[in-house]
Amino acid sequence: MKPVYDLEKLKYGTDAGTYSRAVGLYKKGKVTKVECVAGSYTAIVLGTEPYRVSVSGRSFKQGHCACYLGQQGTLCKHMIALALHAVREGKPLAMETTKTPGEAECSMRAGQLNDMELQKAKLEITNAMKYIKPYRGPSKTWFANQDSLCEGCARLYDIVHGLPVSKQTSDLLINLLLRLDKKLCTGGVDDSNGTVGGFMTEVVALLEKYAKIDPACINSFKKLTEIDHTCFGWEADLVRLFDEQPR
């Protein structure tokens, strides 16, 4: 039986540290004696000690591990390593499965996406936006809602990471910021942890770098001068760059 979740779900649904340590364990063959019984996986994962680990095929967040964290009910690297084994059926991981850290790095490379790449980026953005969901309660669903925001932002980080720099990609990012702003202002998203706001601040910093590499990017900030209110004033630095650009 194949698990319900896939590699993407594991990658974006786990924090970067746990995920990369789990990848390390899996690649080094530390996941041993894997069995699948009634939709659940069990294994011995060789960590500091050999740990007995189990993980559900329906949700990788449901499982047990005999390690210190696992005993506290925390999702640990051993459970994720077993979930990786389940998803890949023991086969090697592709190279691109290492996760980028939570920061929006600039490619420092001027250029455009071709039509297909642009379509792909837009689709991926739309897909990631589905995880930025409103919180409607009850309060016991709050943590799951916050996890979803984290997963959405992790996906978005991966999309903006390494985009070429041009007016085209700058437009793409401005539209993304405005969509997120709308979700925060009127979409009922509870960002009290600052997950989405943190991501937006990173994208603003990224756009400031864009402006230095290709000043034509500044023209896409014009859109920001036409709105009268944003959720936390994130646009201020970009509006200033637009106002102060030499004409």
Binding site for Zn ion (CB under 5 A): 65, 67, 70, 76, 78
Beta pairing partners, 52:
44
User: Are 47 and 128 in contact, with CB atoms under 8 Å apart?
Assistant: no
User: Are 87 and 41 in contact, with CB atoms under 8 Å apart?
Assistant: no
**In the complex with Zn ion, which residue's Cβ is closer, 18 or 170?**
18
Q: Least separation, in Å, of the C-beta of 55 and Zn ion?
A: 10
- SS3 state at 140: helix
Strand (E) or helix (H) holding 37: strand 31-37
HSE-up of residue 76 (Cα within 13 Å, Cβ side): 20
**In the complex with Zn ion, which residue's Cβ is closer, 73 or 233?**
73
Q: Least separation, in Å, of the C-beta of 54 and Zn ion?
A: 11
**In the complex with Zn ion, which residue's Cβ is closer, 67 or 125?**
67
Q: At residue 99, what are phi and psi to the nearest 5 degrees?
A: -90, 140
**In the complex with Zn ion, which residue's Cβ is closer, 75 or 132?**
75
Q: Least separation, in Å, of the C-beta of 77 and Zn ion?
A: 6
**In the complex with Zn ion, which residue's Cβ is closer, 65 or 156?**
65
Q: Least separation, in Å, of the C-beta of 67 and Zn ion?
A: 3
User: Are 151 and 117 in contact, with CB atoms under 8 Å apart?
Assistant: no
Q: Least separation, in Å, of the C-beta of 74 and Zn ion?
A: 8
Alpha-carbon span 28 to 84, nearest angstrom:
12
